[in-house]
Amino acid sequence: MTLRARWGLLAVPLAFLGVFFVWPVVAIVGRGLRPDGAWDLSPIGDVVTDPVIRQVAWFTLWQAVLSTVLTLVVGLPGAALFARYSFAGKRVIWAALVVPFVLPTVVVGIAFLGVIGPSGSLGVDLSGTVWAILLAHLFFNYAVVVRTVGGFWASLDAGPVEAAEVLGASPRRAFREVTWPLLRPAVAAAASIVFLFTFTSFGVVLILGGVRNRTLEVEIFDQTARFLRLDVAAGLAVVQLVFVVVALAWFARTQQRRAVPLRPAAAATNASPVRGWRARSFVAANLLVMTLLLVVPLATLVTRSLRAPDGGWSAQYYRALSTNPRGSTAFVPPVDAIANSLAFAAVATVLAVVLGGLAAWGIAGRGGGGGWQWIDAGLMVPLGTSAVTVGFGFLLALARPPLDLRDSLWLVPIAHAVVAMPFVIRLLVPALRAIEPGLREAAAVMGASPARVWREVDLPLVGRALAAAAGFAFAVSLGEFGATVFLAQVDRPTLPVAIYRFLSRPGPDQFGQAMALSTVLMLLTVMVVLIIDRVRPPGTVEF
Amino acid sequence: MNEPQIPADSVADSVVRVPNTLARATGIPWRRAALVLLALFALVGAACSSPADDAARSGGAAAVGPAVSTPEGGRFPDGTTVRLLAHDSFAMSEQVLDQFTQTTNAKVEVVLGGDAGVMVNQAVLTAGNPQADVLFGIDDNLLGRAFAADLFVPYASTGLADVLATVSRDPENRVTPIDYGDVCINYDRAWFRDRGLPVPTTFEALADPAYKDLLVVQDPSASSPGLAFLLATVARFGGADNDATDAAWLAYWQQLEDNGVKVVDSWETAYYTEFSGSSGQGPRPLVVSYGSSPVAEITDPSLPVDQTPTGSVEATCSRQTEFAGVLRGAAQPAAAQALIDFMLTVAFQEQVPEQMYVYPVNSAATLPPTWATFAQPAPQPWVVPATTVDTRRDTWLQQWSGLFR
């Protein structure tokens, strides 16, 4: 690929991020650091030397590192499970892993506190401790590791491992010396996403972390949205950005060095039925982890949605969802909320997959010199930037003609795509780098046009990664991630908004309906992700 | 190009047994899937452009020029839309809003802007170039910030004549009071009855070791009821001007901390995960909530007043008034004024209790029967003057943070 072709692929995604990310962020940070037309960088110095902020920054960093390590330790065996074994219910579980992504944090808070809270089923009150934060981060990000690494792993050629074992290597050694080096780019990709998510953790820290545990993200939110001290907020945003860029540079270097081209394999041949006690206990242990981590908390939501005030079982809250006894404007017909959610998420997914795909092919291409890892790292920054910074930035940057998008419904999917794009890039780049160049060359030598090489070599080989990326993009949008939460919107409520509306009012009916609608959202997510997982380019290898 | 083939095993091997039609729909060939996505994209695109970019909005004759003139007969030209920027808790009867459209020919479009604090800050950032014509839901504690940003154009509604004398108002009429509410300690009646413990009736009782570990409150820097409760303690114990750690109100918070008060981020967490009297069935029987919350917990309105599931402690109530104002730079200033007039009418006012759990300011509006029985406003609520709140709030929050962070 020529240098020109690579820049050509990158031009559109870079322009998109320039308008919908860089410009708003510069606008809001500029408002804070240039109040009277002249730059005044002293807020950055004030923030850096403030002992309270230093403590917050330190806490933000170590909890993110610890959360990332914990998620990898628990998630990697899960990835191995999906890559190596076929078992009943595999597809549904693979899709259901995404559910935590779409639930509003306040609902996850209720689910979690139902287990580890003051009167939770665990019997130990972890609320307000860092343990609650770590567990919740594991809950949210488990799917990132399992789906990212598991998908990549499944498409590795089993040949080298078998060869190693034939040559006398123990399974342990074969893993350490063959599989693990090949997996590392995918592990680094997953780790970077988890790190960025937990480094910018907001709702989890507020709801489960008590008043003493605070992250930079929480401080930025308070200074921006509550106190409107834009100078302090800008100083904090710069500090957060520096941390994120340093971390991303490190991850980018790791991935650049370790990418090894591979001959792809039909993944179905890698997954084998569960036989023998070792395999059985491995599968059982993983399923137990998933049950404790995901099923138990989420089940509390389902049971509460079915509990009538008299203690019996009833579907009354589901029936109540479509009634509007007071003729209120705040009422959202569930069908409308589902339609709004699906429409926004569909547009955001298409945007993220197309733009992220272009960027990934540009980054992963060969030829045209080095230094691409810096562009790669730069494209990840939106995931590590405070949503309130972007949201309030939108308000300043996109509020005047020719680009007054404040009233436009496009703003919602655009903001979601800004956050979802890094997912797509992160999942696609390792998959693309793993394509053996010889395959493309062979196709070209035999007369295939570049478009045909792309369609018949690249696309089928990264089909699984593409589907996984689309699934994440969809879930990110469905869960209302992103800057739009902080923007005034013409009322077009989505499912999470409707859930939040119930929960912000007192009374058993409101609570019950919030739980019922959360259950609906979970089921909808599983269904849609199951479909996305199956919509793939032709020839894509299946599990 | 070869016709794309669905791998034969992809459906057959599927562990999920789906009906045939669904299997066909999900094992979608690539090209058809792309078409479906494109169609969806186009569909949403069409839907996206319709309501917001309505050309009608800017076309209203009343929008021209800064001079505000109400059209003859009070009816606006066809297609006039007045936009209402409100906090997330806004709700109103659709029927009542339709009455406004019937009498004025102007439609109301609601724009939601987060909680009251975030909404006001958004409005401050876009001052002069607002997203709406009317802002609703700004409370006393946020007025200072809005006035400093010159957010509103003064308007003296004729409806103010009917507003209760006890309700606070702006002498310059930049904002108009629309409703008020009380923030009070709520208690779980059954919890106290089962233990034979009397329900606490004063602030002091909350610091009594007999009530150790029973109270949950919200972080006042993050939550509006949390701030209201902090203001009530300032009003009750004094020390408003004291910057030091020995301020009387702060000493009371020290006692609360010693007595095991739990602080959480939001009303939702406090009420639904910590409070034992809600459906969330938390462990603590005392919570900072609204004076009107007990009405919402009543499933049987024939209960005697002293048998409701939860109640509120009158002596701890502090009052908040919510205002509306015409935003400077509004596209439809005349219609905005008409909307504020309408918000003071009996029809609108009588809806605010059941829609938003607050009390009407119009003296002619009657409370719904359940409210009249179970949720009268507190007779003597705590109030800190808005000007004091405005100058001192950040200091109080810092003092409070010094104790709890």
Query: pLDDT tens, B235-293?
Result: 999 999 999 888 999 999 999 999 999 999 999 999 998 999 998 888 999 999 999 99
Name, of A67-81, A503-517, B21-35, B390-404, the range with top average pLDDT. A67-81
* pLDDT (mean) for A161-173: 86
Phi-psi category of residue B196: left, alpha or beta, with phi > 0 → left and psi -120 to 50 → alpha:
left
- Supply the pLDDT for residue A543: 43
Query: Looking at A39-175, which runs of residues are DSSP E strands?
Result: 85-86
How is residue A118 written in tokens? Answer: 């003051």
SS3 label, residue A463: helix
The answer, yes or no, to whether residue B36 has pLDDT greater than 60, is no
Band (A194; pLDDT cuts 50, 70, 90): very high
Q: Which of B2, B49, B221, B264 is most worth mutating to test chain A (most A CB atoms within 10 A of its CB)?
A: B264
The answer, yes or no, to whether residue A332 has pLDDT greater than 60, is yes
| B46 vs B41: CA distance, rounded Å | 9
- Supply the pLDDT for residue A259: 58
- Supply the pLDDT for residue B46: 41
- Supply the pLDDT for residue A538: 61
Q: Whose CA is closest to B270, among B223, B231, B201? A: B223
Record: contact A226-B51, CB cut-off 8 A: no
Q: How many helices (H) and strands (E) does chain B have?
A: 18, 10
* pLDDT (mean) for A180-203: 92
Band (B221; pLDDT cuts 50, 70, 90): confident
Note the pLDDT tens digit of each residue in A453-472: 888 888 888 888 888 899 99
Structural domains of chain B ordered from first start = 71-180+321-374 (3.40.190.10), 182-319+381-404 (3.40.190.10)
- Supply the pLDDT for residue B48: 41
Contact indicator for A250, A68 with CB cutoff of 8 Å: no
The answer, yes or no, to whether residue A513 has pLDDT greater than 80, is yes
Which has more confidence, A304 or B2? A304
Angstrom CA distances, B203 to B193, B197, B215, B246, stand at: 20, 16, 11, 18
Note the pLDDT tens digit of each residue in B138-176: 999 899 999 999 999 999 999 999 999 999 899 999 999
Residues from chain A contacting residue B51 (CB–CB below 8 Å)? 409, 490
* Residue A324 C-alpha from the chain's centroid: 35
ipTM tops 0.90: no
The answer, yes or no, to whether residue A368 has pLDDT greater than 80, is no
Q: For strands B310-327 and B152-153, give the pairing.
A: antiparallel
Show which of residues 253-272 on chain A sit within 8 Å of chain B, judged by CB atoms. Answer: 268
Residues from chain B contacting residue A103 (CB–CB below 8 Å)? none
Record: contact B121-A211, CB cut-off 8 A: no
Residues from chain A contacting residue B293 (CB–CB below 8 Å)? 506
Band (B29; pLDDT cuts 50, 70, 90): very low
Of residues A206, A212, A538, nearest to B405 (C-beta)? A212
By C-alpha distance, the chain A residue nearest B405 is A212
Record: contact B48-A409, CB cut-off 8 A: yes
* pLDDT (mean) for A44-62: 93
SS3 label, residue A227: coil
Q: Which of B216, B269, B271, B396 is most worth mutating to test chain A (most A CB atoms within 10 A of its CB)?
A: B269
Of residues A110, A396, A408, nearest to B52 (C-beta)? A408
Angstrom CA distances, A185 to A260, A368, A423, A431, A434, stand at: 9, 22, 14, 9, 9
- Residue A90 near chain B (CB below 8 Å): yes
- Residue B114 near chain A (CB below 8 Å): yes
Contacts of A39 (CB under 8 A, 6+ apart): A33
The answer, yes or no, to whether residue B295 has pLDDT greater than 90, is yes
Per mean pLDDT, which range of B29-43, B48-62, B184-198 is the poorest?
A: B48-62
- Supply the pLDDT for residue B34: 47
Q: What is the mean pLDDT of chain B?
A: 84
Per mean pLDDT, which range of B4-8, B155-159, B306-310, B401-405 is the poorest?
A: B4-8
- Supply the pLDDT for residue B59: 37
CA torsion sign for A442, A447, A451, A452 is: negative
SS3 label, residue B106: coil
- Supply the pLDDT for residue B11: 33
Q: What CATH architecture is A3-36+52-534? A: Orthogonal Bundle (1.10)
- Residue A134 near chain B (CB below 8 Å): no
Per mean pLDDT, which range of A29-38, A128-137, A428-437, B216-225 is the poorest?
A: A428-437
| A494 vs A332: CA distance, rounded Å | 9
Record: contact B37-A346, CB cut-off 8 A: yes
- Supply the pLDDT for residue A225: 86
Q: Which of B1, B2, B99, B122 is most worth mutating to test chain A (most A CB atoms within 10 A of its CB)?
A: B122
- Supply the pLDDT for residue A121: 80
- Supply the pLDDT for residue A144: 94
Show which of residues 331-370 on chain B sit within 8 Å of chain A, judged by CB atoms. Answer: 354-355, 357
Per mean pLDDT, which range of A523-537, B93-107, B130-144, B155-169 is the poorest?
A: A523-537
Band (B47; pLDDT cuts 50, 70, 90): very low
| Domain boundaries, given as residue ranges, for chain A | 3-36+52-534
> Rounded to the nearest 5°, which phi and psi values hold at B315?
-70, -10
CB atoms within 10 A of CB A490: 17
- Supply the pLDDT for residue B65: 37
**Side chain identity, residue A267:** A
- Residue B17 near chain A (CB below 8 Å): no
* pLDDT (mean) for B201-224: 95
What is the helix (H) or strand (E) element at residue A58, kind and residue range? helix A51-84
Residues from chain A contacting residue B135 (CB–CB below 8 Å)? none
- Supply the pLDDT for residue A162: 81
Q: Whose CA is closest to A470, among A520, A515, A420? A: A420
**Side chain identity, residue A196:** L
Q: How many CA atoms lie within 13 A of A113 on its CB side?
A: 29
Show which of residues 297-356 on chain A sit within 8 Å of chain B, judged by CB atoms. Answer: 304, 309, 326-330, 343-344, 346-347, 350
Which has more confidence, B137 or B30? B137
The answer, yes or no, to whether residue B26 has pLDDT greater than 70, is no
The answer, yes or no, to whether residue A497 has pLDDT greater than 70, is yes
SS3 label, residue B138: strand
- Residue A4 near chain B (CB below 8 Å): no
- Supply the pLDDT for residue A485: 75
